[in-house]
Amino acid sequence: MNTIVRMQSMTIKNIKNVKSGVADFPSYKNETYFDGNSEILGLYGQNGSGKTTLINMAGILKRILSGDALPDNTIELMDCNEQESGLDCVFYIEKNKTDRHLVYYQLALQKTIDSQVKIIEERLSYKKLNEIEGKRKTRKLIIGFDCKKAITVKPKDKFKDLENRNMTRSLSFKIAMALGAERKTSYVFSPEISKKYSSYLKDDTEAMIIEDLKTFGHRSLCVIENERLGSILMNILIPFSFRIDTKYGSAQGEYPIALTGDTLIREEEYALTKKIIQQINVVLSKIVPELQLEVLEKSSEYSKNGEKKIRVELVTVRNGRKVSLKNESDGIVKIISILSSLIAVYNRPSYCMFVDELDSGIFEFLLGEILKVMSEGGKGQLIFTSHNLRPLEVLNANNILFTTSNPEKRYVYLSNIKKTNNLRDVYLRTIYMGGNDEQLYIETDAAAMRKAFRKADGLFKDE
């Protein structure tokens, strides 16, 4: 069955400096959902205004859908002045071009007295899109968990047996719930918990929606956070984000190889590395002329349990000359690290990639050309943050979301943009002169800045 899953909207509550922020994707705003083409969404704004927060929450969403535990730093992301935070997401799921649904997922988090985080509420609901455009059925709850006090499963008429204290099935469900709470995993998408409630989902559509979202989280949602850039800049390792498909199945994920020297990897990892590099090289030389990537086998050895391991080094090849990858520019290393996932975005409608600081180290004209190619011929979704304004000149206005100085309304689109307008010029003019409903930039004073620099230098001269 041909299934397409697409992100439509993310709403963030009390995360870092975002009190409330709604990031509606262009397809959701326009109610097109999916028209067969790619969807690019660039996020721009002042430092510290909530761009990276959206990427952080995409990372948490991936872990939730995959049934993994919340990251250890989740409490650090939550607003220091609030006890509860949340994330609401909307997805579009299409099967065989006929069955079309909007799916709504809601997550609420709470700080505990021992400085931990727990999931206190989850809801998963959906509504079917009718054939007639604009006509939609009402939203229907698939399953909801309320764990503020006692564990309550909704709708009660569907899951009433699970709260029966005398049933063996109910007891095993509550044990699974307790383990899920301890591990900080989703109640809806945890494999152990979903096994206990799946038999109550009499509607095949509901069960398939849950499985589709699990598959999307595992295979098709890629999140590139800023920690990856740090490891590249420090010449520690290159974390390959990859998606490889063969007739036997697919492989996807993140695979790190050292930049500072040789890496000892298992034989099957060596085979995977060669496949990733073979795939990357098809596109790499078109992005950076005449550049190719190669993995050199330096030696092999066997571990104590008899497992063969191979010592490898990554090198670039240009005009027959080989150079260790660690000696290439940060921009080239970053392009190489995400290129396999960009290939997946270009070719796969369900592949969704979030990238923080996509522009870091990449020549601005090349960045614009890559985004132009992705927007004109791609099929998947690419969401990125950037400080380089070149994408504003190559993407449409409805593909650019701006952060504001208002923590209660962090994400907005610019209104009244004509096709003949240069969005970069409009954005800079709005920063200087205002005119937008929400302030996009907290003004800085150059004279005050100069004075502060002088004052800071002489701060301790009298001591």
- The pLDDT of residue 299 is 86
CA–CA gap between residue 365 and residue 388 (Å, rounded): 10
Q: Higher-confidence residue: 105 or 157?
A: 105
265-278: average pLDDT: 85
Is residue 114's pLDDT more than 90? no
Is residue 367's pLDDT more than 60? yes
- The pLDDT of residue 84 is 93
Is residue 31's pLDDT more than 70? yes
Find the range with the poorest average confidence among 132-141, 202-211, 288-297, 362-371: 132-141
- Reported as type and span, the H/E element at residue 99 is strand 99-111
- The pLDDT of residue 276 is 86
CA–CA gap between residue 210 and residue 213 (Å, rounded): 5
- The pLDDT of residue 298 is 85
Q: Which two tokens stand for residue 1?
A: 């069955």
Beta strand ranges found along 259-338 (DSSP E):
263-266, 291-302, 308-318, 321-324
- The pLDDT of residue 104 is 98
Percent of the chain's residues with pLDDT above 90: 48
Q: Where are the domains of the chain?
A: 1-225+356-463, 230-345
Percent of the chain's residues with pLDDT above 70: 90
Is residue 218's pLDDT more than 70? yes
Is residue 316's pLDDT more than 60? yes
Is residue 372's pLDDT more than 90? yes
361-383: average pLDDT: 94
Q: Is the dihedral angle over the CA atoms 355, 361, 364, 370 positive or is it negative?
A: negative
CA–CA gap between residue 125 and residue 103 (Å, rounded): 6
Highest mean pLDDT among 10-19, 90-99, 147-156, 267-276: 10-19
- Band the pLDDT of 228: cuts 50, 70, 90: low
User: Angle, to 10 degrees, between the axis of helix 330-347 and the axis of helix 267-287?
Assistant: 90
Q: Higher-confidence residue: 136 or 56?
A: 56
Is residue 136's pLDDT more than 90? no
CA–CA gap between residue 313 and residue 222 (Å, rounded): 26
Side-chain-facing half-sphere of 232: CA atoms under 13 Å: 23
- The pLDDT of residue 232 is 52
Is residue 408's pLDDT more than 90? yes
DSSP 160-187: GGGG-TT-HHHHHHHHHHHHHHHHT--T
- The pLDDT of residue 132 is 52
What is the chain's mean pLDDT, rounded?
87
- Band the pLDDT of 439: cuts 50, 70, 90: confident
Find the range with the poorest average confidence among 142-146, 179-183, 343-347: 179-183
- The pLDDT of residue 122 is 96
Instruction: Give the architecture (CATH level 2) of 1-225+356-463.
Output: 3-Layer(aba) Sandwich (3.40)
- The pLDDT of residue 1 is 59
Nearest to 318 by CA among 280, 339, 292, 287: 292
Is residue 134's pLDDT more than 60? no
CA angle 245, 246, 248 (to 5 degrees): 120
Is residue 5's pLDDT more than 90? yes
Amino acid at 85: S
Q: Higher-confidence residue: 134 or 178?
A: 178
Q: Higher-confidence residue: 393 or 258?
A: 393
Highest mean pLDDT among 146-155, 226-235, 329-338, 368-377: 368-377
CA–CA gap between residue 64 and residue 70 (Å, rounded): 7
Q: Please, which residues bridge with residue 411 across strands? A: 403
Is residue 395's pLDDT more than 60? yes
What does DSSP say about strands 152-154 and 140-146: parallel, antiparallel, or unpaired? antiparallel
pLDDT in tens, 145-155: 998 877 788 99
Residue 225 and residue 356 in contact, taking contact as beta carbons nearer than 8 Å: yes
- Band the pLDDT of 170: cuts 50, 70, 90: confident
Beta strand ranges found along 140-262 (DSSP E):
140-146, 152-154, 221-224, 237-246, 249-258
Residue 213 and residue 65 in contact, taking contact as beta carbons nearer than 8 Å: yes
Find the range with the poorest average confidence among 68-82, 144-158, 212-226: 144-158
- Band the pLDDT of 162: cuts 50, 70, 90: confident
Q: Is 33 helix (H, G, I), strand (E, B) or coil?
A: coil
Q: Which two tokens stand for residue 183?
A: 């591990």
Nearest to 70 by CA among 78, 61, 82: 61
406-410: average pLDDT: 93
Q: Higher-confidence residue: 358 or 445?
A: 358
- The pLDDT of residue 174 is 83
Find the DSSP H helices in 304-440: 330-347, 364-377, 391-394, 423-433
